[in-house]
Amino acid sequence: MQYRALGRSGLQVSPLCFGGNVFGWTADERTSFSLLDAWLDAGFNFVDTADVYSRWVPGHTGGESETVIGRWLKQGGRRDKVVIGTKVGMDKGLAPQTIRQAVEDSLRRLNTDHIDLYQAHKDDTATPLQETLECFAALVKEGKVRAIGASNYSAARLSEALAVSQRLGLPRFETLQPEYNMMERAGFEGELQALCRREEVGVINYYALASGFLSGKYRSREDAGKSPRGAGVVEKYLNERGMKVLAALDAAAQRTGATPAQVALAWTIAQPAITSPIASATSLAQLQDLVRAAQLQLDAQTLRSLDEASAP
């Protein structure tokens, strides 16, 4: 498998990243362990989580996903084979004291002495960028963090953060985690994409399958059934453009012998500036879909037809 450089961090990651939000939620601990084992066995090495996963589940407070990964790591022999990305600051901001407490909590839950990629989960305009970046720099110096990244930052704020790091000689955000897929192109393509390419910032986009829409499983209101997620997807994407995208995916799937989901992921992997899209699986069968997606090479004509169908 051809690994990719994660920004200028020196880290090398697989062309797909496993989204760990499912661990301890829709995948119980035993299933999560089998998924993580299979991910590594298939040659992948990148796993993304956050300190707030899975607080949306009744009775959960956040940190459940990290805890599952930590228990898996505790079995031994795997830490040097996996690149772990986690996040801080979704709820409590990015003040130094918040980051300090959060990193210790994440390290404890993950059963590790270092985090490979520590990401600001969302921008905190109430805390000066210099204070946040100086705190991250201290964690890098102490060996608790190898590289830092940003999630959900605008082009203007990411550019400002990179400038602060350069001016002060601090570690910079090596990655950006934006929402990006065939149905959500406008927010990333343009300023953010150009900035990431120019500054060699790695991009690890989330919602790579548009909450399941690009798998083709939601083609009518009836398909959504009683699923709140499905209903939301139908309301957002089941329109003329969405049907045009599904038709293009179907045609590409038939031509390549792949599934629409595999084609959609392969399209994303092939996009400029994208390093490693994030995708999840809750079964070994779904994981094999991800493996095949990473192996799928789309020809220029297929990419062009998908570009045209999904044009914003």
205: in domain: no
- Please count the structural domains in the chain: 1
Residue 279, pLDDT score: 95
Residue 186, pLDDT score: 96
145: in domain: yes
25: in domain: yes
The Cα–Cα gap between 204 and 16 comes to 9
Cis bond before residue 165 (omega within 30° of 0): no
58: in domain: yes
Across the chain, what does the average pLDDT equal? 95
According to DSSP, the β-strands at 4-5 and 12-13 are: antiparallel
72: in domain: yes
171: in domain: yes
Q: Which range marks the domain in which residue 133 is found?
A: 4-177
260: in domain: no
Q: How far is CA 178 from CA 121, 184, 215, in A?
A: 10, 10, 20
> In residues, how long is the chain?
312
Q: What is the pLDDT of residues 193-219, one digit of tens each?
A: 999 999 999 999 999 999 889 999 888
Looking at this protein, which amino acid is placed at residue 311? A
CATH, residue 119: 3.20.20.100
312: in domain: no
Give this prediction's pTM: 0.95
> Which region among 34-38, 121-125, 235-239, 241-245 has the lowest average model confidence (pLDDT)?
235-239
Q: Which residues are catalytic?
A: 53
